[in-house]
Structure 1
């Protein structure tokens, strides 16, 4: 394939990561794909080859991340596109989720992503090229979901660090895209990807209703096609001036506009208070 690239995709054994990896390999691209289980990757995608490198990697263990990056460089000599896709959902109120439950979500969704960036950047800087996709969520832009506060905050963190990261690496010729998916029909809302509080508080009726809605009604009926999401990422990787903020899904597009309108309304309504605080 012309313009073949080397991709490094985290969370590739299922969902969007798996579909993206399969599409890339079908197009003749080279892919290093990571998961907590190398056997799971091989079962889902196939054995190692000239174009495919399955890697067992623990996101929260920087030595494991560094080792996976080094194996990729040894195998493919470079990394052109990084897709930070691995993560999981956590549904529970701020009161009922324990410190341990909250920190684990940050360890994977935020600090794990940082481990990958930290160990990939030396190679992209040396090449003075590359493209990094950080997968956030529309819940990293619009937080009005009761029971999703910790998860939203991890994805807001990804959004904030990505905007700063894009400014840091622009002079090296590296593109960065912050991806805000809406609801896509993957296994994200199943038990393997969505965790619930160990000690739920029944008084939070809206949150318990949200749990039921997500696990019983929304799961399997999400409006977004993950095949088309993967296509959008591949398309964006070929753009000369790719998007920094990429909302995917009609629902994500609509929620983003709702948030923007709400912020604009507050800005104007309370402008006199906002601007009254200077010396």
Structure 2
């Protein structure tokens, strides 16, 4: 039965991760969920039955992640659906963000995801089954957001590694889906999930306007419903042939269509130059 699948969800104490965990538990799934604070996780989820395993995990620490995966298998006997949801937003132009700020975003958004993949793949290879959902973003599909270059870079990295992962793991029966949400009404644009630059450069008018737009206008008015996003992810996990790319939200869908149309036009416009570089052309 579908609800016998064991789920492992990172970043589960708030936002989309919390909505997903609560819905999974309501449907009777066994769920291991992670957060930096196990108390925050317990208080947010409010579920004490044996089907819920709350775990305090530092995603940037490979040993911490490995112990969490092992604990999940020890508790439930297997692991089936892995949702790499943990991450945070970072605003700031490429010029004004420091190495520390940029690397910090990559450490959580990219290397945290990699740590989970490395830890869980031995179990999935042995089972010859499993489904890894890596939560990227529409900002991992199109990068035309001033002031979000590093964040976009982390999400493009997640998208790229996920496409390769899908090709690497298909023969093991392991499926991969890249979840690419638009704006969802969560805490993502609030302090703690959204970081702004320590040293702003006033000349970047478009960046400051974009930053203010996200913090003051978009925050709290996002069109996406996290409960419906959770429903969509649960549905996809039950599909025999799930999509590699799952866009969530009408805004994400529209932005993706615009990017594809723009890229198609650009390819045709510069086709002659592109193909002129082959030997014998």
Residue correspondence of structure 1 range 123-138 to structure 2 within 5 A: 123-138=123-138
Distance 1:139 1:73 in 2: 33
CA contact (8 A) 1:9 1:32 kept: yes
Structure 2 counterpart of 1:258? 258
RMSD of the alignment, in Å?
Answer: 0.9
Unaligned segments of structure 1, at least 5 residues = none
| Alignment pair present for 1:229 and 2:229 | yes
Which secondary structure does the structure 2 equivalent of 1:117 belong to?
helix
1:92 match: 92
Q: How far apart are residue 47 of structure 1 and its match? A: 5.5
Whole-Å Cα distance in 1 between the matches of residues 127 and 178 of structure 2? 22
Corresponding position: 1:114 with 2:114: yes
Query: How far apart, in 2, do the equivalents of 1:47 and 1:187 lie?
Result: 21
1:171 has 2:171 as partner: yes
In structure 1, the residue matched to 2:217 is 217
Q: With structure 2 as the length reference, what TM-score do the two structures score? A: 0.98
Q: CA offsets per residue over residues 198-230 of structure 1, 9 Å max, x none?
A: 000111011111111100100000001110000
Q: Per-residue displacement from partner, 1:146-176 (whole Å, max 9, x unpaired)?
A: 0000000000000000000000000011111
47-56 vs 188-197, which deviates more? 47-56
State how far apart, in whole Å, the 1-side matches of 2:115 and 2:228 are: 28
* 3-state SS of 1:232 partner: helix
Tell me, yes or no, if the aligned pair for 2:92 and 2:207 is still in contact at 8 Å: yes
What displacement does 1:49 show?
Answer: 3.4
Q: CA deviation at 1:73?
A: 1.1
Q: Which runs of 5+ in 2 are unaligned?
A: none
Match of 2:46 in 1: 46
Provide the rounded CA distance (Å) in 1 between the counterparts of 2:23 and 2:7: 12
Compared CA separation, residues 2 and 113, structure 1 to 2 (3 A): closer
Residue 246 of structure 1 aligns with which residue? Answer: 246
The question of whether the paired residues in 2 share the 8 Å contact of 1:134 and 1:178 is answered with: yes
- Partners of 2:227 and 2:46 in 1: CA distance: 19
Residue 94 of structure 1 aligns to a residue whose secondary structure is coil
What SS class does the counterpart of residue 155 from structure 1 fall into? helix
Counterpart position of 2:207: 207
Deviations 1:206-257 (A, max 9, x none): 1111111100100000001110000000000000100111111001000001
What is the deviation of 1:46?
A: 3.0
SS in 1 for 2:78: coil
Deviations 1:115-159 (A, max 9, x none): 000000100110000111000000000100000000000000000
Q: Is this contact kept in 2: 1:47–1:54, CA < 8 A?
A: no
CA distance in 2, matches of 1:241, 1:47: 32
